[in-house]
Amino acid sequence: MDIEGLPPGAPELRLAKLLNDYADVRSLRTAGATRKKQAEAKLLVSGLQQRLLSSIEAFAKTLKVHRRTMEKLWAAESPAGTQAEIDPQLIVGNFDSDDDRSQLPEEEQETLQDAAVEAATENARGDSAKADVRTEQQLLDEMERVAEAARGLPDARVLKLIEWIRANMCAGVRVPGQSSPQPNAPWSDARLLIFTEYEDTRRYIVAMLRAAVSETQDPEERVKVFSGTTAARDREAIKLAFNSSPSENSLRILVATDAAREGINLQAHCSNLFHFDLPWNPSRIEQRNGRIDRKLQPAAKVFCHYFFYKQRDEDRILKALVKKTDTIRRELGSLAEVLEERLHEAIKFGISRREIDRKVRDIEDASLEPEKRATAEEELESARTRQDALLREIERLQDRIEKAREWIALDNDALRDAISCSLEMLNAEPLKPAEAKGQARFEFPNLEARHGADPTWSITLDTLRKPPKDGKRGFEWRKNSPIRPVVFNAPPGIDDDIVQLHLQHRVVQRLLGRFLSQGFVHHDLSRACLAQTDDAIPRIILLGRLSLYGKAAVRLHEEILTVTARWTEPSIRRGQLTPYAREAEAKTLALLENALAPKSAGAVPAEVSERLLNSLPNDIEELLPHLEERGRLVKKDAEELLAQRGEAESQSIRRILEDQRKRVSGQLAKSAQLVLGLQGDEEKRQFEADRKSWERWLKRYEQDIQREPGRVKDFYTVTSFRLESTGVAYLWPVTG
């Protein structure tokens, strides 16, 4: 995002020029000193420069500490002594997220950083006799004057950011110090993630944004912070809020330091990220972007913005760094470690305006040596090959899922109707459509709130509530956590506001269990149904279930069987009911499916119901032998398929064991050379433990190769089966 048209005296431009001049003057102190001394002096100025490019607020605080120490040096109050050991990270950056010090209170972190700046200033005192003290004082005076006057005011980046928020999130956002263009304006559903490297800058951004949103709807809830000092409990709450539906949570803007740049998923409802400042380490840019540019990002495009001051020479370096990072990522997949270090080294010790043109060229021309680049390209090609193989595997699995769906014949509408039917059998309300944009949602009744409800439903219904923040699933949590709407198709991204119901969900299994828990009992007419169709022929369907079991009663196969026939009055039958052939049976089952739909025809007359009820025992007796014969045929086919699967998996485990033996034997053969390259006793002890483990595995190999394939094959051997009738359905013509 370009920033241009600033007056020459704008604080961001003026301070950058003054700091560059100050760096040149300070270099006189270390002229002729060792390279180490010169590097220490440059590192100090680099830290000041990075803070200035982050924010005037961060620069002003560090400048004050540096100036205070310089005044002691000018007055000779701080005699030269032993060089203090300094952590460079405290000079040029903030604490990393994996640094324990990042968890310290802000005051303690500031104390550590101030002490490091003081020590670095003293270490870089150089030769006072060569120093131009007067010019140093003048430049520091002017920088402090400009910084103090500008800190606390919105800079050009804040104004650009407010302009973007006003256009994309809320029209009522105002520039601090001005009135809102649209007081109490509502917010869109868009969310925004803002990154900065420094806590001082983070506090500055938050202060500016909270002032900017103060006259909009729910201003207190719009801006939150995620930094190293955020408590672990609050971190989880903030992540949950930022990833929750914008319709349920007012949070819209999250300001984060680099403590949030790794291992945190924030993409559920956010596709825009702003780098308020740019890290000088290229990999950190990628890590920040990865918080929203990742899998399960529902947006088609992700936008990662950064600011570019066209009138500030130092920004040319940072722009070249961003561009090079993007080029490398496209060409090589990711930054090679060596190349990343080379790019970082180009600006590690600061950006001198005398060297900007050369450094821009160095960054643009940076590349790996031919051998290393060839290796990186080979790795990338290998990764692409693996990705292609993975895509083919995904496509194959999608085909298998589709075939399984066809084979199971699961229809989400039918599943929803079955769940509603089961709920009604519990004397509860069926699923009802819920108001929602896009994907169809349904309200699930609170079964535990019914009079005389089964108390065990509480635990089952917990799977439909949002998980408790403190992990405690008690009465208060259930009272304050309503049951979420349910859906039957997978949502496109992460959505904690809904629950997808599927065959393996505990609620679904419990509700469908009443249909599956027992077989058909002749006197139990709850398994018989009567429906009307617009077909002219009365029909009967006998349903059965075939279950095949292996060793230890493991269920290997289960299948619903049907026998269909034309129904005639027992008094006029010329023999027993005759099952339909395949084509007529398919039509009968299709008629049954349509007849059971919610908007099917009305009720069958009572006299017809009574006639069919009286005929029921005799009809079952006539069709049951056909169901048993069909069961025997299906059992035979299923046993053959299970045997084929057992054989295939047996051969697969045999190949796995043989491949593993080759790899282990190869490692043992190379062990003599490998041990020579080990460093330290710990590595040698670990290698010795690995070698012994390989030897033990090889000793077990012969037993495993004989036992495991056979064990897998035996698993699919059918040892018992069960065939039971589970229901009867009559289809009666509407015409009677």
Domain that holds residue 687: 525-736
pLDDT at 98: 63
Place of tokens 């045997």: 643
418-476 residue pLDDT tens: 899 889 888 889 999 987 666 789 999 988 877 667 788 888 999 999 888 777 888 88
pLDDT at 521: 43
Evaluate if residue 524 carries a pLDDT over 60: no
Question: How many CB atoms are closer than 10 A to CB 261?
Answer: 22
Q: Which amino acid is at 186?
A: P
Q: Where are the beta strands (DSSP E) in 310-440?
A: 432-434
348-377 residue pLDDT tens: 788 889 888 888 888 877 765 565 556 556
pLDDT at 363: 80
State the virtual CA torsion across 125, 130, 134, 138 in degrees, nearest 10. -60
Evaluate if residue 102 carries a pLDDT over 60: yes
Evaluate if residue 78 carries a pLDDT over 70: no
DSSP string for residues in 689-702: HHHHHHHHHHHHHH
CATH code at position 240: 3.40.50.300
Reduce the secondary structure of 541-567 to three states and give it as a string.
Answer: EEEEEEEEECHHHCEEEEEEEEEEEEC
Evaluate if residue 519 carries a pLDDT over 50: no
98 found inside a domain: yes
329 found inside a domain: no
485-500 residue pLDDT tens: 999 988 876 777 889 9
547 and 695 in a single domain? The answer is yes
615 found inside a domain: yes
650 found inside a domain: yes
396 found inside a domain: no
Q: Sheet holding 539-549: strands in order across?
A: 528-533, 720-733, 539-549, 555-566
Q: Is 0.85 topped by the overall pTM?
A: no
Evaluate if residue 394 carries a pLDDT over 70: yes
Tokens for 687, please give them: 């290698």
Cα→Cα distances 624→439, 584, 612, Å: 44, 19, 17
Reduce the secondary structure of 402-455 to three states and give it as a string.
Answer: HHHHHHHCCCHHHHHHHHHHHHHHCCCCCCEEECCCCCCEEECCCHHHCCCCCC
- Asked which of 46-60, 441-455, 715-729 is least confident by mean pLDDT, the reply is 441-455
581 and 720 in a single domain? The answer is yes
140 and 233 in a single domain? The answer is no
Q: Are 569 and 521 in contact (CB under 8 A)?
A: no
Mean pLDDT of the chain: 85
What whole-number distance in Å separates Cα of residue 602 and Cα of residue 170?
53
Mean pLDDT of all residues in 224-250: 86
- The distance from CA 156 to its chain's CA centroid, rounded to whole angstroms, is 34
The 3-state DSSP class for residue 584 equals helix
Among left, alpha and beta (phi > 0; psi -120 to 50; other), residue 182 is beta
Query: Which helix (H) or strand (E) segment is 106 a member of?
Result: helix 106-123
How would residue 520 be classed by pLDDT, with cut points 50, 70 and 90? very low
pLDDT at 339: 56
What whole-number distance in Å separates Cα of residue 481 and Cα of residue 79?
65
377 found inside a domain: no
End residue of a domain, out of 150, 183, 206: 150
End residue of a domain, out of 264, 295, 312: 312
pLDDT at 523: 42
pLDDT at 179: 93
Q: Sheet holding 441-443: strands in order across?
A: 432-434, 441-443, 486-487, 499-500
- Asked which of 168-177, 207-216, 605-614 is least confident by mean pLDDT, the reply is 605-614
Evaluate if residue 341 carries a pLDDT over 90: no
Residue of 605, 598, 709 lying closest to 651 (CA atoms)? 709
What whole-number distance in Å separates Cα of residue 654 and Cα of residue 645?
14
173 and 290 in a single domain? The answer is yes
How would residue 525 be classed by pLDDT, with cut points 50, 70 and 90? very low
167 and 284 in a single domain? The answer is yes
728 and 607 in a single domain? The answer is yes
Q: Are 611 and 569 in contact (CB under 8 A)?
A: yes
Evaluate if residue 165 carries a pLDDT over 80: yes
How would residue 95 be classed by pLDDT, with cut points 50, 70 and 90? low
State the virtual CA torsion across 313, 317, 320, 321 in degrees, nearest 10. -150
- Asked which of 83-92, 276-285, 390-399 is least confident by mean pLDDT, the reply is 83-92
Percent of the chain predicted with pLDDT > 70: 87
How would residue 161 be classed by pLDDT, with cut points 50, 70 and 90? very high
Higher pLDDT, 122 or 528: 122
Tokens for 87, please give them: 């952590």
Evaluate if residue 82 carries a pLDDT over 60: no
189 and 266 in a single domain? The answer is yes
What whole-number distance in Å separates Cα of residue 162 and Cα of residue 729?
67
Tokens for 639, please give them: 């046993």
176 and 135 in a single domain? The answer is no
143 found inside a domain: yes
Task: Give helix 35-54 / helix 56-74 axis angle, nearest 10°.
Answer: 140
Mean pLDDT of all residues in 109-115: 84
End residue of a domain, out of 462, 488, 513: 513
497 and 547 in a single domain? The answer is no
630-669 residue pLDDT tens: 999 999 999 999 999 999 999 999 999 999 999 888 888 8
Instruction: Locate all alpha helices (DSSP H) within 517-605, ordered by sequence.
Output: 582-595
Percent of the chain predicted with pLDDT > 90: 44
Task: Give helix 106-123 / helix 56-74 axis angle, nearest 10°.
Answer: 50
